[in-house]
Chains A and B, each alone.
Chain A
């Protein structure tokens, strides 16, 4: 089984703070992590390799620092890693990101399964998985919470997808792209052996020159969307009444009256 896992390095958004005066993000000291959803993608690929044999390759498109995310994936057990990094990739939206990742996957060549996270926590779009699948003209199975059957002879896969109504059981042909939700597994921690391997491994860096791409489709240039403004969200204008009284009984009685006066409780 040949699996390719697309991972993204993101700032830990729980740690991102806003400068209240300037209304800007404070990035200093905010750790970079592997997009949490992508760790489930890595784990699922590793589990399949343990069952069927084969190889797990992780790829990421990003700045040189993203190398540390790939090393972490290797420490978890990934066999190979490739960094896609080039000034020409900078400023890519989900279209251009999908295009570049798909070109890299074509260069890697053979694969049975591609894994992505359901979404990245910085942009929260969940568009790159479907984008890559469409670029490669393979099937996509999104929001997968369980792989229930995998048959490499018949080239068939059966999965459960998390949809609004419950779970949808879908069968598809291989190769295909899967985006995973966190119900699918519990990601492992890096092992000592893995960490040692990750320190030694030489991770190739591919630039635009290494890929068969139309340069007009890369980075900011190839991106249909433009971010034109960034602002901090206006705070919700709540009434902000803290109800104070002698006793809890009085407090809740006042609250109950207020809610009834709002005509919300009848």
Chain B
């Protein structure tokens, strides 16, 4: 299903396109003419490189009848559970504020729930110009249908240009449904959001292929431009309680009888480790060798008042629970200090911790990739280094 069209008449087989294909999808056939394999996903990187103009992508056909000019403003969905807003939503408000300012537009927070006045006020304190509130018992606990249908109606009515949601389990669940209803583009897990000069389009930058590459994605012809962003990728904005704004009351669109799902219970995991919010994290990987090995990791974390993290290798081996996993399929963390012990630093692990302020690596293999991103490293056996570090810190901190 290669998308790229190669004009066999004009292709000279110069191979310049081979150099730029990010997916290694191009090869020369036995007639010295370029062929695109299935790995071609139509990114178009090669098209302008071809000196003979032999490469092309299919022309886009009819677009839906929307006038992108009719859409303006930035929206953020504010997630809440049990009447408490999720901090990820404030990170979105911080980003939304920046984008709205660049576009010279308003920032709107959408608060769906029941008895959520306090959250609406908080949203303004963090930077929203106005808050769209839909307050109803049917929205007390997040459920896809009533939330998605309500947001879809609001978007149709108010036509925001950009719509951001946190990439939490609920945010991803909701965003996928809303974008499908609206027939618009949705980019998951963005790590960068910028406004493109000239076009004023939202540039959505995100990792793909397990973090091996970064893709920039645009949604030129459909609105709103929707994106989700993971927790801790962006910083929390400052709250300013004196900020004022407008509150608009919206209406729910589904009566309880029409909602087919019921949330029966929320089993909150006791002493659930919240590595996502920890300022200091000490993580162990396969090098820790077993559940007992995490003993010295815990001791170091305790001295530092930090939390314990882990690589997927350690979690998959059953040495520690999934709640501790840092990385692409675990948590994203952004602590002030991340100490990686016996972790090689695979790209999927890095994806979850590379924005830490200071990274320390303890590993016996000097070639381990973790050293390439670390600020400080000690090459050595973690079973000797970690307890020694704990002892040194204890002494230094008078504990």
Give CA–CA (A25, B215) in the complex, Å. Answer: 12
Chain B residues whose C-beta falls within 8 Å of the C-beta of A224 in the assembled complex = 183-186, 219, 221-222
Known: A165-B269, A171-B262, A253-B392. 14 other contacts (CB 8 A): A85-B1, A94-B176, A129-B176, A130-B173, A139-B145, A166-B266, A172-B261, A183-B322, A226-B217, A230-B215, A231-B213, A236-B354, A239-B376, A249-B388
Asked if B188 contacts A127 (CB within 8 A), the reply is yes
In the complex, per-residue mask of A142-172: 1 if CB is within 8 Å of any chain B CB, else 0: 1100000000000000101111111111111
Asked whether A130 and B177 contact (CB < 8 A) given A91-B42, A225-B187, the answer is yes
Most buried by B among A28, A129, A227, A264: A227
A contact residues vs B (CB 8 Å cutoff): 11, 13-14, 16-19, 22-28, 62-63, 65, 85-87, 89-91, 93-95, 98, 121-131, 133-135, 139-143, 158, 160-173, 183, 216, 220-221, 223-233, 235-236, 238-243, 248-249, 251-253, 255-260, 262, 264-265
Asked whether A232 and B212 contact (CB < 8 A) given A140-B177, A166-B272, A253-B392, the answer is yes
In the complex, per-residue mask of B359-378: 1 if CB is within 8 Å of any chain A CB, else 0: 11000001000011111111
Asked if B357 contacts A95 (CB within 8 A), the reply is no
Name the CB-closest residue of B to A162: B169
Give CA–CA (A175, B159) in the complex, Å. Answer: 32
**Can you name 10 A-B pairs with beta carbons within 8 Å?**
A25-B22, A91-B58, A128-B176, A170-B264, A171-B261, A171-B262, A230-B23, A231-B214, A252-B385, A259-B360
Asked if B3 contacts A91 (CB within 8 A), the reply is yes
Asked whether A251 and B378 contact (CB < 8 A) given A172-B260, A220-B57, A236-B354, the answer is yes
Q: Does B118 contact A (CB under 8 A)?
A: no
Chain A residues whose C-beta falls within 8 Å of the C-beta of B376 in the assembled complex = 239, 241-243, 255, 258-259
Q: Does B72 contact A (CB under 8 A)?
A: no
Give CA–CA (A8, B175) in the complex, Å. Answer: 21
Asked if A240 contacts B371 (CB within 8 A), the reply is yes
Q: Does B28 contact A (CB under 8 A)?
A: no
CB of A255 to closest CB in B, whole Å: 6
Give CA–CA (A260, B389) in the complex, Å. Answer: 13
Q: Does B304 contact A (CB under 8 A)?
A: yes
Partner of B213, one of A158, A233, A251, A253: A233
Asked if B188 contacts A25 (CB within 8 A), the reply is no
Give CA–CA (A139, B260) in the complex, Å. Answer: 8
Counting from the closest, the 4 A-B pairs by CB-CB distance are A130-B176, A13-B210, A224-B185, A90-B1
Give CA–CA (A119, B57) in the complex, Å. Answer: 28
CB of A248 to closest CB in B, whole Å: 5
Asked if A230 contacts B214 (CB within 8 A), the reply is yes
Give CA–CA (A142, B148) in the complex, Å. Answer: 14
Partner of B60, one of A126, A140, A220: A220
CB of A42 to closest CB in B, whole Å: 19
In the complex, per-residue mask of B130-166: 1 if CB is within 8 Å of any chain A CB, else 0: 0000000000000011001000000000000000000
Asked if A170 contacts B263 (CB within 8 A), the reply is yes
Asked if A241 contacts B377 (CB within 8 A), the reply is yes
Chain A residues whose C-beta falls within 8 Å of the C-beta of B2 in the assembled complex = 90
Asked if B43 contacts A230 (CB within 8 A), the reply is yes
CB of A223 to closest CB in B, whole Å: 8
Asked if A124 contacts B269 (CB within 8 A), the reply is no
Asked if B43 contacts A134 (CB within 8 A), the reply is no
Q: Does B129 contact A (CB under 8 A)?
A: no
Name the CB-closest residue of B to A86: B1
Instruction: Give chain B interface residues in 331-383, CB to chain A under 8 Å.
Output: 336-337, 346, 348, 350, 354, 357-360, 366, 371-380
Q: Does B238 contact A (CB under 8 A)?
A: no
Asked if B392 contacts A227 (CB within 8 A), the reply is no
Instruction: Give chain B interface residues in 15-44, CB to chain A under 8 Å.
Output: 19-25, 38-39, 41-44
Most buried by A among B168, B272, B388: B388
Chain B residues whose C-beta falls within 8 Å of the C-beta of A241 in the assembled complex = 375-377
Asked if B180 contacts A25 (CB within 8 A), the reply is no
Partner of B375, one of A19, A91, A238, A256: A238
Partner of A134, one of B148, B169, B207: B148
Asked whether A229 and B184 contact (CB < 8 A) given A26-B24, A124-B189, A220-B58, the answer is no
Asked if A63 contacts B38 (CB within 8 A), the reply is yes
CB of A151 to closest CB in B, whole Å: 14
CB of B23 to closest CB in A, whole Å: 5
Asked whether A238 and B373 contact (CB < 8 A) given A123-B208, A133-B177, A221-B61, the answer is yes
Q: Does B62 contact A (CB under 8 A)?
A: yes
CB of A202 to closest CB in B, whole Å: 21
CB of A221 to closest CB in B, whole Å: 5
Name the CB-closest residue of B to A61: B1
Name the CB-closest residue of B to A249: B388
Asked if B265 contacts A243 (CB within 8 A), the reply is no
CB of A162 to closest CB in B, whole Å: 7
Partner of A248, one of B212, B380, B396: B380
Partner of B393, one of A165, A166, A249, A256: A256
Give CA–CA (A134, B260) in the complex, Å. Answer: 14
Q: Does B98 contact A (CB under 8 A)?
A: no
Most buried by A among B264, B280, B373, B376: B376
Asked whether A264 and B359 contact (CB < 8 A) given A22-B19, A127-B172, A130-B180, the answer is no
Q: Does B45 contact A (CB under 8 A)?
A: yes
Asked whether A233 and B186 contact (CB < 8 A) given A162-B169, A221-B61, the answer is no
